[in-house]
Structures are given as C-alpha cells and as structure tokens.
Structure 1
C-alpha cells in the first residue's frame, strides 16, 4: 500500500505533464522537464511496474510527438499489447504504431500477440490487431497473419470488414502476389450499401490498380459498372444520403469513386463511353460555392484529363469549368491554385481553350500569394506563341519589376526562351533581352548573359543597334558625372547594376567603335562613363554578389572586380581601334596608369599590360590582339544552355548496361562501361571578356583559349553534322546528330536530342545503348532525368569499330521512363538503329 502510494505521488498523469510542458517558457525548460520525466519513467520500467505502465507509455507518446527520443519504451508497448485488459491493449497498439515501424526487428516479437488478438471474439480487440497489420506489418508478418485477415474479410461484422479491407490495402503493397486472392472481396464491397465498406473497397481497388496494373483489364468490367451506378445514385434527387456537406451528397465517396474511374477507365473506349454521362452531370450540376463541391469538381476534371478516350467536348467542358467557373468565381486561394495547376496539365492538348481565360490568368500575376503567382507564371509561359508574344512579354517585364528576388532568375529564363522562339525580329529580341538584363541584373543566370552576348555576336545586322541600346541603358547615366565627386553621389540614383554594366561595356568595347566612327556616340562620353563606373565600383557598397550566391547557388566572382577588369579591356580596345582625340588618349593612359597600383592583382596586371601595349613599339602586335572576335555559334550555345538547365543534381555519372539489354545484341557480348565522367563545359561570366591577355602562365592562356574555342566560337563539328529522326514510342521522339570525331580513338560522335510529345513530364528518363563486339562505345551522362514538353534532353555517345575490316554500323537502344498517369511504369521502348550516314573512306 505504502509503495503504491509513493509511486502515485511521483507518477504524474498525462494531463499534468502536458500542462507543465506548455507552461515552459524556453526550450531549455522543456528539455529539463522531458529529461526528468523520462528518467522517472525509465526507473519504473526497470522495476517492472505494471500499475502505471499505460500512463507512462501515453506520456512517452506525447514526448515522441514533440521530437524527443523514446526508444526505451518500445518493449513496454509490446507488453501492453499482450495485456488482457482492453485499455492496456489500446495504448499498447497505439504506441506500436507510433514508436515502431516495419523495419525494426523488435516487431517480430508481436507476431504471436497479433495472431491471438485476430482470433479474439471481442470485435474491439480484433479491430486493434487489424489496425496494426494495416499500418506497420512487414512482408514476413503479413504471410503469417494473412489467413486470419482473409477470415475477417469473409465475416459479416461491418466494423471488422472495414478494418480487414484496410489491412488488405497494405497487403497489396507489401506482398503483391497476394493481390489476386483479394479480387472477389473487393468486387463484393462495391455492391454494399454501407458507406464505410464501399469506401474501403474503393481504396483497395485503387491500390490494386497501382501495385498490380496487369490486372486492370481483368477487373475493368467488374469495377466500372458498379462505380458508375453508385455515382448516378448519389447525384439522383431521390437518393437519401447518410452524409451531406454544404448541399453535396457524400463528397468523400464521390471523390473516391472518381479516382477509381480515372484508373480503370483509361485504355478502353467502352469504359470511357460508360463514364461520359455521369462525368458531364457532375461538371454541370455540382455547386462550386463550397469546398466540398470544389473537391468533387477538381477530381472530376482530373478524371476527364486522365481518360484520353473521352470525347473532346467533355475535355473542353472540363477546361471551361476550371477557367470559367472556378478561376473567376473562387475566392479561396487553394481553389485558384488548384485551378491553375490543373490548367497547366491540359494546356498542351487544349491550348486554345485555355487561352480564352488568359486575362484572368494574367490577373493572378498580381495576387499576394506567391504560390499562385508562380503557377500563373508557368501557365502564361505555356500559353505564349507568336500571336501573343508582344503582349505577354510586356506582362513578364512588368512582373519582373515588382516580383521577389527569388522569382527573377526563373522569369528571366522564361523571357529568354519566349524571345528566342517567338521573337518577331532580331531587334525586338535584343531589346527584350536588354530590358530583362536591366531589371534582373546580377540575378540573371550567367548562361543567359552568355547567350545574349552570343546572339549579338552572331547577328552582324544588330550589333550597332545593340551597342547603342546598351549604352543608353548601362553607360549613358554616368556620361556627364564628374568622377571626382563619385564618392558624394546619391547611391539611390547612381547605384551600379554590375551585370548590366559588364555586358554593356563588353558590347561597347567589341562593337562600339563603329558608332564612334559614325559619330553616333561621342568617344568623350564613352570614356567618361567608363571612368565614372570605375570610380563607383571602388566604393563596393552593394552586396549583389552575396545575393546572387544565395539565390542562384555557388560562389561568384566579385562583381566590382570583374566590372573593373572589363572596363579596362574596353578602354584598351577603343584606344587601339579608334582614332581618338589626343585628350581622350591621354585620359585613357592616365586611367590605366592609375590602376597599375590597384590592390586587386588581376586588375593591376591588366592595367600594366594594357599600358605597355599603348607604346608604339607594340602597334603591330597590339592591333592583332585587340582585333574583333569571330562570330559566336549562337545555336550551339543555346543547345548547351537548354540542356544544362535541366541537369539533375543527383544524376549518376557512371553508365550502366543491364544484362537484359546485352542479351538483345546481335553478337551477344558485353561492352565495358566507361567509368570516367566528362563534365559539361559551363560558361562563366568571368570568362566573357574582351581580352584575357594578362594571364601569368601559359597554361592559363591555354585554358582560356580552349574555353573560347568550345564556348564562344562555333563548334567545328557542327558544320559537318547530319541528322536522322527516330520515333521512340508514342510519347517521344529523338533526333540523332552525327559528327565526325577528331579523337583518333573514335569515329563518330552521336548526339541524341530527345523531345517529348505529351504535356506530362517523363520522369526517371534513361537511355541504354549496346553495340556488337566489333564496336566500342563511350556513353556520356544525359543532361537530365526529366523530359518536359517544349524542352529537350541531350545525351552523347562516341562510337568506333575495333577491327580493321569495316562492318555494318549499328546499335541497340533501350529507353525507359515513368509517367504519373501511367499504371505500367516504367515504360520502355527498344529498337535497332543502322541508318548511319555514309562516311568517305570508311563506309
């Protein structure tokens, strides 16, 4: 008696512990309380206490919910499960579900307890055991208790049948070979009149379709008719429902029925035809003023989108319901978000229908909710074409002025792609990119900056226009500023935009001499602007570099340092190319001389070398060094940009070749995998300079020369490439570009450019290639693992023959990917390609 009273004094109730926990004002107080209570609970467990075991486990569950360790109570949960008292069993099984999972070996100790409780004549006890099976049972445990679960599936108690059906859902996941044994139980439930039985039966039908898609065709005729009939009953005015929410008859059951129809209705015209009437009725008659009605309508739209065999009129009605009723009328942000997201999935098929609601979608760009703005941005981008590029680009630029910094890189990418695909003329393209750069500045991805410079370089007709435009945007504001008072200028009026200034100075240095010779620009204005920018850059009062590092990832070169480097290069170029007045030449010499003592080593080196080049002794050499760069290959650089934007960060660089693919070869011999990863060349803003003359070693000069050859100049192989197109199943095709490989170890370089034909992303994309034994292959990593419509995914393979005797060039390919709407993942496509182009002297 005395001992029990002492324990009662120290063993607090769950209510008292929760009250004390909530009264803690600091995290340290919370930890102290949990530590003290856990120590007392652990002591009681060691003493073998049974009087307060249930109370202590309940407190441990509360601590676990707060994130504190409670592993020492797992065994005590099992002891509670074996207790003959129902109250103990209830807390024990709850602890079993919360504190344990299927991967813990301690779970095997509960097998006998589960078997006994499943055979119990008390429904509540058997229900607890079925709940445990449905939540934490492993594959081995399921095999032990499946006969008992099947016995409850055959029973008449609705409560136990519901629990058994939920357990059957987990059985399908963990032991798919048992799926065929559950067909009859699933179809029987669809004819029941008890809502909870029908709901759990539908959950089982849905899980069967995902875990065992090969059974869909067998079950379609047994699932579709009862589901359609039940939906018609729910929509009938004479139906007496058990549950009504905001005037919607049993929305939970309607949503579940629609989910099952979306899975079993696809792939069969007959099944789609049987669903058409009831889907039209739901879209037309369901009230969208409540959340329950919205949920039913959204699920119905998803069902219509999933079943491609439905008539086009019904799919148009679904788009009209989303855009016309929900997007316009819905005041709830969740409803608008889901509407935009769903419209985004159908825009590829019903673009013209979605365009009718373009004005409503554009209004969402000014919504206070950033998630809605993101979805609206994606949808507007998907709706862009040559007919509305002018309107939508203005909307994007207006949005870019006011949007958050984290959105600006994505908006810039979209604007660049829109302009590249649908620009009415080259001057408009340059103007759009210049305005985008002005508004985005350092947050603009470096690949887009490189692409913009390459565009101007490749199009000679627009070089003068671009130089004049960029001078107005980037340099003219500083043309009349006295550099001597730069330190006293208002920072809000004269805040540098480093990326815009760098590009503007680069273009002026490369093409501005034409405007100076034509007297369109004044050399004094240009030089004075550069001198002012150099002075302002010394203040270094902005943190764009840090902002760029946070938002875009990775470290960046100092914006102020890079700006000074490019400005000095521009001054040197103008000095060598243009007949400047003596005063201007002396001013340039003075500027270069000033920066010969710069603390920045790179700036100092450039200034010293450029100043030496001003000497007349170096005229011949300096003019060659300062000559114009050859035109850049814009198309090649754009392909690299598009492929690089989708690179998967977690992609495995090592190539894999499965045995099943090798077995399909004509000559049945494995090829060794190349285990060396070849990193794709990246374009760094710091390399896009007018001149990189001031490197201290030959190796660094060679690195820069190689980068110019590979990134800025046109690819030599691009001039001789030929292409072939192959169809890779119903969802994508591939363009194969063949280049003669200059590496003596290989003969051909083949670029696979994959394009999606469907709006839904193709995930976990993978290409495998095998060749006969007389050939060898080097398969490089793909540029990504997800293929989206409107984008391309690139993978490169290099091929050669290992024998002196020339044989047929051929390869075997296998493509695999997954789609969210498909029940037969992964989807594979195989084929043999022999249509190699003829090569003189080789084939």
Structure 2
C-alpha cells in the first residue's frame, strides 16, 4: 500500500482545491466521505514510517487550515485529519495545530463533537501536555455540561493535566464543582477521588493538603475515599507543628450545625483525643480563626469514648473532670451495642484497676503510622486469575555451586504457580487502616523506622517504585500492603507498577538481572494490565541476596515490556543503583 501514498496525497490535494461540485459537495466540503476514508488509509500506512510521515505534513497542514469547521461535514474531515496527525511519530508544529482544532471543538454546541474532542485530547495528553494546558479553561467549562459523559471525560482530562505548577488553581476550581454536583453522588464521588489523588501527589505543603482534603470531606461527606482519610491521620501525626492548627480547624468545622460529614467528625474526635491538651492554648485558635461560640456536634459514640479516655490521662485534667468522664464511660457498660459496651468496660477497668505504668503505655499518644500511600484508585483494581499471570524471567550468575543451585531453584519456583517463593509471607489483599485500634493492639504498637522508597523507572507515563522496610515491619493501607524485610545482605522489595497515560497498557512484564556476586528470587506479578490515568496498580516482589554485603553495592538491571494503545510492543531497560544506604 505504501507505493500508493503519492496517489492518496494527490487525491486529497485535488479534493481540497476543487471548485464547487453539486454532485459531491456536502456542507461546503467536497466529498467529505472520500476525504475521511483517504485520511484513514493514510494514517494506517504511515503510522510507523517517519520518512513517509514527513512527506504528508504539508498535505495535512493544508487540510487542517483550509477546511470549514462551521458544519458537521467539515468537522468530520478535521477530526480525521487530527487523528492522522496524532498518529504520526515525528513531533512537529502540526501537532500543536491539531490540539488547537480540538480546542475549538470544545466550544461547539454539539455534545458529540465536544465528547470526541475530549476523548482525543485524553489520548494525546501524554505527548502534548503543554499544548493542551492552553485549553484548560474550555476543558473546565465542560464540567458544567448537563451531559454526564462529557463531564466525566473532562474530569479525566483535568486529572491528567494536573501538575505541581497548576495544582492550587485547578483544585480550587474542582472544589466549586463539588457543590454543583451535589445531586449526582456517583460523579461527586469520582470528583472527590480525583481531587484527593492529585492533592496526595502534588500538594505544595502539608498544611494545604490538610485544608484541601478537609474541604472535600466537608462537601461530600462519606463519599470521600477511605485512603484519603487515612492519609490525613498520617500527615497530622507526622507533623507536630500542624497538630494544634489541625485540632482547632477540625473542631471549628464540625461545630457547624449544617455540616453532615461522618469522616470529618471521626478525624476531629481522633485529633481531640490525641492532641486535646493543645485546645487549652490560644495560638491554635487564632491561627485557625475559631469562633468563640461553639455549638454541640453529634459525634459517633465509639469515637467519643476513645476521645474521653485520652483526655482523662492528660496531666492537666482536674479530679473533677476525671470523675465526670468516668461517669460518662460507665453509662455505656450495659449498652446493647457491643462495640460501645466493649470500649466502655475496657476503659473503666483500665482507669480503675490498671497500674500507672500500664495506663501510660496504653493511653500515651499514638506514634505516627508508618504507611506507604499510592495515589491510585483502589476500587478499579483488578485481581487477575492464575492463568493470566505473566511468566517471570531473570538472569543471574554465581560464584559457587550452592549459589548457582539457589538461583536455578528460584527460577523454577518463580515459574510454578503452585509453589510460591515465600509461602509463609504471601501478598495479601489490602485492608483499610483502622485509626482507632483496640486497647490490646496499642500495647505492642511500637514505632519502627521505614526505609525510604525509590523510583526505579519513570518514562513514557509508566513508573516503577521500589518499597523497602526493616525486618518484621508490616503495614497496610486501602491500596497497598507492604510486607518487606531487610536482613544482613538480604533485601526484599515490593515493586509497584503504575500507568498515568490516558490509555491502558496490556501484557506488562517486569524482569530483573543481577551481577555475579548477588542472587535473586522473584515472585509472579499480580497482573499484566495497567489501566489509564493510574486507575489501578500491579506489584511484584523479589528478594536480593548480596553475598558481599558491605563490600559491594546493590546494583540491578530491570527490563519492562508492554503493549501500548496502538498494539506496538514497547521494551525499556534501566539500571538501578540508587538503593537506600540501609539496604
């Protein structure tokens, strides 16, 4: 077909320059059906040929600039022209021209035209982010459309456009749409989830993060994602300078009678229980601009009990205050609600019979949770079947027979579905973090240091993150469960894969190669499909043994491969040497 490309270009130029022909003219465009089919054929035959792509640039530019766009026939030709330009691998100013045409489509009154424009922009956002940023205002206007499909696609596009530079402005606009979408809980939930994810990823500072997510919680109530709420617990606990501010701020927000947000009340009750002594100072109140007239707020009873048992152990609490709190606790000793009765009895027994040492240990301030968060959408996670798991391969040599045997055995095990590498420590399904654990679990809840994560690969919208932790540490969030250890010379890693492109990728594969002085054991991946815009993640665990620990550093080579939206196979390799010092 390539030999006919000059004929295709000649025919397109002839149609573009031809005079009025009543037999073929539709809406001022000469034979738009033929033009669309010729452009489709041109896109197909020039997709992977850069030389051919350069040859057709002039023709595509002429079509894009001279075709009328005030009627549907012209719009159909322009849209097909834009699709052809976007499939050309050679980047050129014509790409910007195509983005501008799609921007004009967003101003069209026809919902169909606006939707196809949004869809095309979503597919082009990775390679043409800067050009699309110029049309942010038109994209935001689409969020006001009555058509839910247009609003949903516009939201996906804004999510993909958000970065460190525009995060503040875009989030402020999205917060306004939270109020406008109050009658559509499904869209409001998706909107709140996207806001929380971009805030988690690009927040300029912790205070802005807290203020923004609490605004979302106040607007959408229980629709907010659980991992976003858990993230606030972690941030507040890890940021002592914001604990007073957060406590006053939350107390003021839940004191509003019209507020109906259970997650916000839970967070407020937890802050008062942990940092209640800071409510007696005026600095936090002035900083958070709290009104003096505080009204009654209906908290969840279980959380109030947790709050009371913390307050009673504060050294500043008077005997009268402690007596009042003890009476409040006793009221629930006979409650028909099992949770209330259990907490009430536990707290009463603890306060009356436990020694001071036990009280101090149980009721002391909770350590900052050691949780790793990923800004992905957990509800879209897909759990593949065993048959869908990709084959795992790795390369490793050895200096001794025992090491060689270990590597051979690990290679066999990694390819056998019935025999996982770590049968005593499997990858478990993620569970939400409980910010209000029971008393007994608090006794052994010792704070442990976590090894910082590293980004091992980040290219073309695909990133690979390595997570590490010290021996015996295990933490879980609603998105990721980490059970990772580090012994002398042994490093166990959880590699998390994410795709932030506007298109999904399939057949994802991850492989590791190590030098001769290291050994490798690797488990199968959790799946081989990565959805668009970070809507899911996949992970794969492997263990590195450094036989020259302390003498030679950890260095590995990784290879990832996947199939993109055009069906092409993409293979990328990288060397990873930036392991943390304590690995």
Please list the CA deviations of residues 176-207 of structure 1 after superposition, one character each: whole Å capped at 9, or x if unmatched.
xxxxxxxxxxxxxxxxxxxxxxxxxxxxxxxx
Contact preservation (8 Å) 2:467, 2:493: yes
Contact preservation (8 Å) 1:811, 1:834: yes
Question: Are positions 1:371 and 2:149 aligned together?
Answer: yes
Match of 1:247 in 2: 28
Question: Are positions 1:718 and 2:465 aligned together?
Answer: no
Contact preservation (8 Å) 1:746, 1:798: no
1:12-91 mapped onto 2 (5 Å cutoff): none
Aligned equivalent of 1:420, options 193, 200, 208:
200
- Cα drift, residue 801 of structure 1: 5.6
Aligned equivalent of 2:564, options 801, 819, 830:
819
Alpha-carbon distance between aligned partners in 1 of 2:97 and 2:158, rounded to the nearest angstrom = 21
Please list the CA deviations of residues 765-788 of structure 1 after superposition, one character each: whole Å capped at 9, or x if unmatched.
222457899945142534772165
Secondary structure of 2:333's counterpart equals helix
* Structure-2-length-normalised TM-score: 0.80
Match of 1:648 in 2: 382
Aligned equivalent of 2:413, options 672, 692, 695:
672
Secondary structure of 1:777's counterpart equals strand
1:752-771 mapped onto 2 (5 Å cutoff): 752-754=495-497, 760-769=503-512
1:307-386 mapped onto 2 (5 Å cutoff): 307-311=88-92, 313-323=93-103, 325-328=104-107, 330-386=108-164
- Cα drift, residue 642 of structure 1: 3.7
- After superposition, the Cα gap between the structure-2 partners of 1:274 and 1:744, relative to the gap in structure 1 and judged at 3 Å, is closer
Match of 2:372 in 1: 637
Contact preservation (8 Å) 2:86, 2:95: yes
Aligned equivalent of 2:277, options 513, 520, 528:
513
Secondary structure of 2:366's counterpart equals coil
Aligned equivalent of 2:333, options 596, 601, 606:
596
Question: Are positions 1:692 and 2:427 aligned together?
Answer: no
Alpha-carbon distance between aligned partners in 2 of 1:642 and 1:239, rounded to the nearest angstrom = 54
Match of 1:9 in 2: none
Match of 1:402 in 2: 180
Contact preservation (8 Å) 1:450, 1:683: no
Coordinate RMSD, CA, aligned:
4.1
Alpha-carbon distance between aligned partners in 2 of 1:679 and 1:530, rounded to the nearest angstrom = 47
Unaligned runs of at least 5 residues, structure 2: 398-403, 472-484
Alpha-carbon distance between aligned partners in 2 of 1:335 and 1:839, rounded to the nearest angstrom = 54
- After superposition, the Cα gap between the structure-2 partners of 1:290 and 1:784, relative to the gap in structure 1 and judged at 3 Å, is same
Contact preservation (8 Å) 2:189, 2:223: yes
- By relative contact order (CA 8 Å, sep 6+), the higher-ranking structure is 2
Contact preservation (8 Å) 2:396, 2:519: no
Aligned equivalent of 2:263, options 464, 476, 499:
499
Match of 1:473 in 2: 253
Alpha-carbon distance between aligned partners in 1 of 2:579 and 2:222, rounded to the nearest angstrom = 45
Q: Which range moved further: 646-655 or 386-395?
A: 646-655
* Structure-1-length-normalised TM-score: 0.57
Please list the CA deviations of residues 369-428 of structure 1 after superposition, one character each: whole Å capped at 9, or x if unmatched.
111111121222233334433332221111112312112332222222332344343322
Contact preservation (8 Å) 2:200, 2:209: yes
Match of 1:202 in 2: none
Normalized per residue, the structure richer in strand is 2
Question: Are positions 1:533 and 2:298 aligned together?
Answer: yes
1:160-239 mapped onto 2 (5 Å cutoff): 219-220=1-2, 222-238=3-19
- Cα drift, residue 498 of structure 1: 1.6
Question: Are positions 1:294 and 2:75 aligned together?
Answer: yes
- After superposition, the Cα gap between the structure-2 partners of 1:804 and 1:344, relative to the gap in structure 1 and judged at 3 Å, is closer
1:429-448 mapped onto 2 (5 Å cutoff): 429-448=209-228
- Cα drift, residue 235 of structure 1: 1.6
Alpha-carbon distance between aligned partners in 2 of 1:836 and 1:399, rounded to the nearest angstrom = 42
Match of 1:200 in 2: none
Alpha-carbon distance between aligned partners in 2 of 1:580 and 1:757, rounded to the nearest angstrom = 51
Secondary structure of 1:533's counterpart equals coil
- After superposition, the Cα gap between the structure-2 partners of 1:306 and 1:656, relative to the gap in structure 1 and judged at 3 Å, is closer
Contact preservation (8 Å) 1:748, 1:800: yes
Alpha-carbon distance between aligned partners in 2 of 1:310 and 1:804, rounded to the nearest angstrom = 47
Match of 1:682 in 2: 430
Contact preservation (8 Å) 1:272, 1:310: no
Alpha-carbon distance between aligned partners in 2 of 1:519 and 1:743, rounded to the nearest angstrom = 43
Alpha-carbon distance between aligned partners in 2 of 1:627 and 1:228, rounded to the nearest angstrom = 77
Match of 1:124 in 2: none
Alpha-carbon distance between aligned partners in 1 of 2:142 and 2:552, rounded to the nearest angstrom = 61
Contact preservation (8 Å) 1:408, 1:444: no
Q: Flag the structure with larger Rg.
A: 1
Match of 2:476 in 1: none
- Cα drift, residue 638 of structure 1: 1.8
Question: Are positions 1:795 and 2:560 aligned together?
Answer: no
Question: Are positions 1:388 and 2:166 aligned together?
Answer: yes
Unaligned runs of at least 5 residues, structure 1: 1-218, 479-492, 535-562, 694-700
Match of 2:475 in 1: none
